[in-house]
Amino acid sequence: MAKKLYVPGPVEVRPDVLAAMARPMIGHRTKEYAALHEKVVNRLKTLLNTGGRVFLSTSSAFGVMEGAIRNLVQKRCVNFANGAFAKKWHDVTLRCGKEADVVAVDWGQPVTAEVVDQALATGKYDAMTLIHNETSTGVMSPLAEIAAVMRRYADVSFIVDTVSSMSAVPLDLDSLGTDVCLAGVQKAFGLPPGLAVFAVSDKALEKAAATPGRGYYFDFVEFAKMDEKHNTPSTPCLSQIFALDHQLDKMFAEGLENRYRRHLRMAEATRRWVVDQGFTLFPDPGCCSVTLTCARNDGRTDLELLKKLAGDKGYAIDNGYGKIKNEAFRIAHMGDFTMADMEELFGLLEGLLPRVRK
Ligand SMILES: *Cc1c(COP(=O)(O)O)cnc(C)c1O
């Protein structure tokens, strides 16, 4: 049975989006594709407030996360890590054969501007990676404050994963000054997985051109070359791009400000609901994510059983990720979800909670 997905990725995809994927194929080296590509990319630039380049990658987010490392780390990279995705990025960096250090921050806490400043002041690094919205813990780090610090380290590539925040919160890349900002579309974009979008600064493209060992599939220089023709280096996942085109139509029809407000409202309501049920929020106050809520288990609730019972009723819910599995759980509120979807979930869980509590 198909379940309604309240897990933080892949998120629930609306039937109109699935239908957009069912369009017949077109050749990707055609004027028709170039026109579609240009239209999609131009609206992504508006969404991200950037006059720089935006590329489409037929991969999940980790492809571009690896690509950013291979293109931009020449000397040594620092991976800031306050959760599972950040920690994995450190592993990816090492597996690319790069010198790297991890700066670990406790799970539930944000990466702060001070932590970034302290690490970069050592002068050891020419690149840093940051997860804006740590999906494993529901923590959103203060990107604007970190960006202000990064201005003092112009020689350090500023590589940011906004996989679970892009399109749900305002991202003004030209004022943030990111070198790479990337996302997979199966989170806040509300699309099926398989496509990643990423913005690359001119400075980063210049550096990439001078970095050996970029490989082919994620070579940013190849992406830039093909971008001139509104195209991609290899055959793109056309179905997903049809769906992204459709989704961008919907986003701009809703209005970006309305979209951001809708996400904030769902986040505030979910945090309130979680606390009303006797749970506590997993993140430190002030750094709760806008796209998912992570709550600490109260010790009385059998999350495994809750997940099973919800599943039997046709709902997929989460019971924690990585080392906090069953100690915390996450509720996603992103993409095309509205308050009505959240209330539907709250009602379901309120019916089930008495049965799973000791
Ligand atoms: C989901 C997620 C990823 C991984 O994306 P894949 O699509 O599995 O490659 C990376 N970072 C964050 C913050 C995520 O939420």
Residue 166 pLDDT class (50, 70, 90 cuts): very high
Taking alpha carbons only, the member of 189, 151, 180 closest to residue 334 is 189
Q: Let me know if 197 is exposed, middle or buried by CB neighbors in 10 A (0-12, 13-18, 19+).
A: buried
pLDDT digits (tens, 9 = 90+) for 108-157: 999 999 999 999 999 999 999 999 999 999 999 999 999 999 999 999 99
d(CA 144, CA 34): 34
**More confident call, 207 vs 322:** 207
Average pLDDT over residues 246-275: 98
Percent of the chain at pLDDT > 90 equals 99
Output the pLDDT for position 353: 97
pLDDT tens-digit profile of 291-318? 999 999 999 999 999 999 999 999 999 9
Which residue owns the Cα nearest ligand 1 atom 12? 163
State the pLDDT confidence band at 1, using cuts at 50, 70 and 90: confident
Instruction: Give the C-alpha separation, 157 to 130, whole Å.
Output: 11
Q: Which tokens hold the place of 75?
A: 């000397």
Domains and CATH numbers, the chain: 4-10+255-356 (3.90.1150.10), 15-252 (3.40.640.10)
- The answer on pLDDT for 12 being more than 90 is yes
9 lines ligand 1 (CB under 6 A): yes
289 lines ligand 1 (CB under 6 A): no
Would you call the peptide bond into 283 cis, given omega within 30 degrees of 0 as the criterion? Answer: no
Q: What is the pLDDT of residue 214?
A: 98
* 251 within ligand 1 shell (Cβ under 6 A): no
Q: Give the type of residue at 344.
A: E
Q: Which of 62, 64, 107, 163 to mutate to test the pocket of ligand 1 (most atoms within 8 A of CB)?
A: 163
pLDDT, tens digit (0-9, with 9 covering 90-100), for 211-244? 999 999 999 999 999 999 999 999 999 999 999 9
C-alpha dihedral sign at 189, 194, 199, 204: positive
Q: Give the separation between CA 325 and CA 186, rounded to whole angstroms.
A: 22
Per-residue pLDDT at 24: 97
Is 160 a residue whose pLDDT tops 90? yes
Q: Pick the residue whose CA is nearest to atom 5 on ligand 1.
A: 61
pTM, to two decimals: 0.98
